[in-house]
Amino acid sequence: MGRQATHGTATAHAGEFKRLVLPHLDAAYNLARFLSRDPVAADDIVQEAFLRAFRAFDSYRGGDSKSWLLAIVRNCSFSWAKASRVGVGGSAPDPDELADPLQETPESSLVRGSEIEQLRAMIEKLPDPFRETLILRELEELSYKQIAEITGAPVGTVMSRLARARQMLSDKLEPRR
């Protein structure tokens, strides 16, 4: 009888994990991809993060599951960077991923893909704290408070990093205009 109770608890645990954490898979991958700058490494990082999250799910005390998961992804990304000993470098973005399929002509699609690739490259060149703050705010649409929880930085620092990241991008874009 004890075995059935344990199995039922494990099933409930897995169901709750799927309900609360699994919907944030895309956000986890996006963060891992931008932090690692490597789509293959991002897959590995996300896999490791989900494994860690599942194992630690008993210690999850409620709150924002997305912030909780992204903090784990962030830690896994840093562990990956440390283990790789190469730093957090990587490959160039895949242009096929960046092209907008809704463009009317092949020419405009090519131009748009090139612009997106350039912007992604600029974002990837930002220093890590600024890049991660920008990604969490602009792509993942997290609040300053959520970003502060994930990064362990005060809200004021998050706001400062975001403003600085935007300014750095703006400075890089200005000469192009």
- Under a CB-based contact definition with an 8 Å cutoff, are residues 57 and 21 in contact? yes
Enumerate domains of the chain plus CATH numbers.
Answer: 10-84 (1.10.1740.10), 95-177 (1.10.10.10)
Q: Hey, what are 89's tokens? A: 């470098």
Closest CA to 135 of 120, 117, 145, 149: 120
Residue 1: how many other CB atoms lie within 10 Å:
5
The string of pLDDT tens digits covering residues 108-166 is 555 666 777 888 888 889 999 999 999 999 888 899 999 999 999 999 999 999 999 99
- The model carries a pTM of 0.60
- Under a CB-based contact definition with an 8 Å cutoff, are residues 25 and 54 in contact? no
pLDDT confidence of residue 82: 86
Q: What is the mean pLDDT of residues 12-31?
A: 88
- Under a CB-based contact definition with an 8 Å cutoff, are residues 123 and 139 in contact? no
